[in-house]
Structures are given as C-alpha cells and as structure tokens.
Amino acid sequence: MSSASIDKRIGYVFDSLMEAHRGGMGHPERPSRIRSIHQRLGERGLLERVKNVAGRPATDEELFLVHPQVHVDRVMQFEEEGVLKSALDGGEDSEGPYNPSTEDEGEENYVVTARPEKSYIFPFGADTYVCKESPMAAKLSAGCVLSLIEEIMDEDSPVDRGFACVRPPGHHATTSEAMGFCLFNNVAIAAEALRQRYGLQRVAVVDWDVHHGNGTCEIFAEDPTVLVISNRIAGRGLAGWEEERAPDELGYLLGS
C-alpha cells in the first residue's frame, strides 16, 4: 500500500470564513492562527495527501447538545443588524486590553487597515471579543468538527482519524458561559454527538493547551462515560483553576 493511500485515512477540515471572527490589534485569538497553519500545510504538500472534508455550520439543535438555548441566543444575537452598535452605544462592552485600530497587528505580508470605528465588543469579559461575524464563525467552528467526526464514523469512508483547523476555540466555554476566547465548546459538542448520534458508550477528550480546559471539564464533570484529560503548562501567571486541585474533583480532574 502506498504512503499516499495510507494518508487518505486522515481527514482534514478548514474553512476560511472562520477568519471573519476578529478583534483588535494584538489579540492572540486572531485569524492568522488558523491561516498560518493551513498555509504551512499547503506549502509542505500535505493537503494533497489527506482527505479534505467539507465543513458546515453547526445547527442550533447540535449546539443544544451541550449549551442551553439562553446561551446560544446570547451569542447569536450579535449577528443581527444593530445589536453590536446598540451594545457599544449603551456601554455594555467590557473593554478589552487590545488596540482596535488594525485588523491583524501588522503581521508580515499582510496589509494593516485602519478602522474608522470599533466593530467589536467584549461582552463576555476582558479577553473574549465578539464582532458581527463571530456567531457565524463559532457555529462553523463547531460544525467543522462535527463534519470531521461524521466522516470518521462513515463506514464507507477510509478516514479513521483527522485534524480540524478551526477557530474560535472551545475548551474554556462552559455549559452556559463564554470565556477565554471561546463561545461554543466545539469538542464537547462533538463528544456528545458521538454518544447520542452514534451510540458510543465511552469517549475520551485529551486537552493539550497552555491553559486548563475548564469548560470541557465542567461540562462532563458528572458524566462517568466521558474521560477528560487536561494537560496545561505550569509556571508564572498560570496558577490554574481552583477546582484542579480540589479533593472532591479526584477521578476526573488532575492538577498540573
């Protein structure tokens, strides 16, 4: 069997529409996070050697697998005309620490475009911004992960593993709260879909990040069928979440 045919067992999903989710200059959760990964994979010829899976937005019903309607509605309201401007005019913005004057902080090979007025707000705390396109991008982020697991679970597909290059991320989003750059918990939604749609009785989520995946842990804290392993870096400024070391969390949460 050739290496090319073996590689077709790997699925890959990406959609540039997720780049429309953007905030101010210097924010670490910016379009280039996925753009640079996608471009690098293309430069190395890897995109030609995998099965490219078409992404799609998650439906409301799929978001409801994890999030209550009140949370979904709160995120989705910002795509409606006038809601963002009304929030800005009404002082509902929790001002973030990032400069609103540019699109992509002057990254090499990209044009810096001045913005005549602020086009995003921080309604979920000082680090989690929303622009008019954010709800669309968040649904697409979750839907792309779902598309990938659908391909993997398809008995007629050779794909048995994959990589979803998506944003905004999801592991900080709890059942009913957006935070830490995350609006919907895409991984938790995918895990629930695997259980409810495909009947998997046990699911493992391995979270590898600088920060603890508090949202995913909270969502499955009382669920013995889902194992969440959250690996994070330890060090200055990363003291972790209080529940990471709580005695009664033993069994589904481990500290750093």
* Cβ-contact 207, 188 below 8 angstroms: no
Cβ within 8 Å of residue 138, ≥6 positions away: 21, 75, 168, 183, 184
* Cβ-contact 25, 177 below 8 angstroms: no
Clarify whether 171 is annotated catalytic.
Answer: no
In the DSSP assignment, the letter for residue 55 is P
Determine phi and psi for 194, rounding to 5 degrees. -60, -40
d(CA 30, CA 208): 19
Collapse the DSSP code of 215 into the 3-class scheme (helix H, G, I; strand E, B; otherwise coil) and give the result: helix
Catalytic annotation, pick one of 21, 27, 171, 172: 172
Collapse the DSSP code of 59 into the 3-class scheme (helix H, G, I; strand E, B; otherwise coil) and give the result: coil
d(CA 218, CA 197): 22
Structural tokens at position 38: 């996608």
Tokens 């995913």, residue?
A: 216
Query: ∠ CA(132), CA(138), CA(143), 5° rounding?
Result: 135
* Cβ-contact 193, 151 below 8 angstroms: no
The size of the chain, in residues, is 256
Residues taking part in catalysis: 172
